[in-house]
Structure 1
Amino acid sequence: MIHIKTREEIELMRKSAQLVSKTLGLMAEMLEPGITTLDMDKKAEEFIRDHGGVPGFLGMYDFPNTLCMSPNEQVVHGYPSKDPLKEGDVISIDCGVLMNGFYGDHAYTFAVGEVNDEVKQLLKVTKESLYLGIEQCSAGKRIGDIGYAIQQHAEKHGYGVVRELVGHGLGREMHESPEVPNFGKQGRGPKLKEGMVLAIEPMVNMGTRAIRQLPDGWSIVTGDGRYSAHFEHDVAIVDGKPDILSTFDYVEEALAKKGIEVY
């Protein structure tokens, strides 16, 4: 069942999403070669609780941490570790917050130090595909229009679009209907309506779209060991048009202050 939100509920969700955005901004400030994702995770939990939220992922499906931290060939659902990040890595940070009874769920893939042009292009195209998908979030369109826009842009650049993992509705539950695949056909799937809130999250691999799960039971990696990227926004349909509840502004302001290129 698809849950339609009121304007008041959407504003509460905006607050949850914005706290996730600010948490990702803090992660951007901390990120540098040599830091551990476990240290970042601890800071994220502290920050979320200090600002009136509860970590949305912690304990969900028995996940043991606040952040999903997925480096390099890990697509999603990686968990923080004591292994330091290295120059040339990429790290996808996915964060959830529960506040005022509603979830925010939002992700960004960062370059660690200097990365090569091939990696920069992957990050750039994946982020572009996210916004192309968001452009389709208008009342009267279909879920398939979102996936089609994402898929066409990513595949045009020779990348693999993950099929097994998808975006989703968002609200009082982290994962609500409908599912939002990052592939599809125009004009297919559930119709988009006023008051729907969706977590749109392209997961794009540098090579094959094939994935596999590691023995830890959580981490999903690319089938060929090449890098993957993941960007996510929370989007409401308001006045028939997409209204992005989350923002990358905090991340990109933090990166700019450090003199780091934004892709």
Structure 2
Amino acid sequence: MVVSNDTELQALKEIGRICATTLNRMAAAMEPGMTTRELDQIGRKLLEDAGALSAPETCYQFPGATCISVNEEVAHGIPGDRVLQPGDLVNIDVSAVKDGYFSDTGASFVIPPAKGKAEKLCRDGKRALWVGLNQVKTGRPYAKIGEAIGAFAAKNRYTLIENLASHGVGRSLHEEPTELSTWPDATEKRIIEDGQVFTIEPFLSLGAHWAEGGKDPWTLLAEPKALTVQYEHTIVATRNGPLVLTLAD
């Protein structure tokens, strides 16, 4: 989607705020002994109370309102009977739709007490996201995003998952521009258009390079097995840089 007027922009800001608020409140509610299904139910209620619907459930019949991935799970974890434990690394991915407009955000958290490596990985995962965001500007190559994140990962001795890409969003959950690399990609030749709506969502890892299918049709696991974090914002590209839509009040 390319934003063409203020009405569209305000609608995108609204659903972005709802997704961000839901994510933050789910993270605050996490505690040992809670199942991922119970955590997902909190997210569902928050979305419904805000007049929004789960995007993966609406678009793809995903079996949950949000994606909750724990430890070895990289993405698309199905909420269920898994009980959260102290020290677990948990990724929450919230995407939703309201009045025909979509937004998408995600973040990773460690349930206290945190282990040193996991805590540092989370901290650097956030930094990697902002390294990518700082490359966004109308007229710049999309490739600069992946190049900058790749340089950050290499400097700090991390790897990146190279088969989970960013994507366009706005009028649907996944749309053009598709398959936006958050790693160095010599084949990426596209240029950022003014008003383009898309995500940036690097997966920073302690050794994994790929996400592979797990025990169900949805959950993806790190290959080789390694702790991995994901941080994601939905943005609008402008001449002055990225306008981040997925920020809570």
What TM-score, normalized to structure 2?
0.94
Query: 3-state SS of the aligned residue for 1:229?
Result: strand
Q: 2:208·2:225 contact (CA, 8 Å) conserved in 1?
A: no
Is structure 2 residue 148 aligned with structure 1 residue 149?
Answer: yes
Higher mean alpha-carbon deviation, 204-213 vs 44-53, is at: 204-213
- Show the counterpart of 2:207: 207
Deviations 1:20-66 (A, max 9, x none): 01101210221111111100111211111111111111143231111
Identity %: 27
| Residue 12, structure 1, aligned to residue 49, structure 2 | no
1:84-99 alignment runs, 5 A limit: 84-99=83-98
The answer on 1:27 being equivalent to 2:34 is no
Q: Tell me what 2:158 maps to.
A: 159
Q: Where does structure 1 lack aligned partners over 5 or more consecutive residues?
A: 251-263
The ranges of structure 1 where at least 4 consecutive aligned residues each deviate by more than 6 angstroms after the TM superposition are none
Q: Greater shift after overlay, 183-192 or 63-72?
A: 183-192
Equivalent residue, structure 2, for 1:73: 72
Instruction: Report the counterpart of residue 61 of structure 1 in structure 2.
Output: 60
CA contact (8 A) 1:145 1:188 kept: no
Greater alpha carbon shift after TM alignment, 224-233 vs 54-63? 54-63
Which position in structure 1 is the counterpart of 2:104?
A: 105
Find the aligned partners of 1:221 and 1:188 in 2 and give their Cα distance. 26
Q: Which moved more, 1:70-79 or 1:204-213?
A: 204-213
Amino acid at match of 1:47: L
Matched-pair contact (CA < 8 Å) for 1:33–1:86: yes
CA contact (8 A) 2:208 2:228 kept: no
Q: CA deviation at 1:241?
A: 1.8
Q: How does 1:133-148 map to 2 (within 5 A)?
A: 133-148=132-147
1:155–1:161 Cα contact (<8 Å) kept: no
CA distance in 2, matches of 1:149, 1:201: 13
Inter-partner Cα distance in structure 1 for 2:211 and 2:24: 29
Assess, with a 3 A threshold, how the Cα gap between structure 1 residues 125 and 186 changes in structure 2: closer, same or farther: farther
Per the alignment, residue 42 of structure 1 pairs with: 41
The letter of the residue matching 1:4 is V
Whether the 8 Å contact between 1:142 and 1:187 is mirrored in structure 2 is no
Alpha carbons 1:56, 1:98 under 8 Å: kept? yes
SS in 2 for 1:57: helix
Matches within 5 A, 1:148-187: 148-178=147-177, 179-185=179-185
Given that 2:198 and 2:236 are in contact with CA atoms closer than 8 Å, whether structure 1 keeps it comes out as yes
Q: How far apart, CA to CA, are the structure 1 residues paired with 2:187 and 2:127?
A: 21
Displacement after TM superposition at 1:225 (Å): 2.3
Gaps of 5+ in 2: none
Number of residues paired by the alignment?
247
2:59–2:173: 8 Å Cα contact kept in structure 1? no
> Which sits farther off after the overlay, 4-13 or 143-152?
4-13
Letter in 2 for 1:54: L
Indicate if the aligned counterparts of 1:74 and 1:221 stay in contact, CA closer than 8 A: yes
Letter in 1 for 2:243: D
Greater CA drift, 15-24 or 234-243? 234-243
